[in-house]
Amino acid sequence: MGTEGYCVKCKAKVEMLDPKESKTKKGTKIAKGKCPNCSTTVCRMGGIQK
């Protein structure tokens, strides 16, 4: 089960590579990874899916 994020370049949901959990300034959990198609950084609200 991967972590999906929305890639703004591909304009599609992608399964992010090497997802890492992070937090915004407001304390919201997010997951950050890379798009497997174009290597753009992809973010997802709510942290990493398990």
38 binds Zn ion (CB under 5 A): yes
9 binds Zn ion (CB under 5 A): yes
Question: Judged by CB, which is closer to Zn ion: 7, or 31?
Answer: 7
Among 19, 35, 44, 48, binds Zn ion (CB under 5 A): 35
Burial of 10 per CB tally in 10 Å (0-12, 13-18, 19+):
middle
C-alpha span between 7 and 21 (Å, rounded): 17
Q: Which residues bind Zn ion (CB under 5 A)?
A: 7, 9-10, 35, 37-38, 40
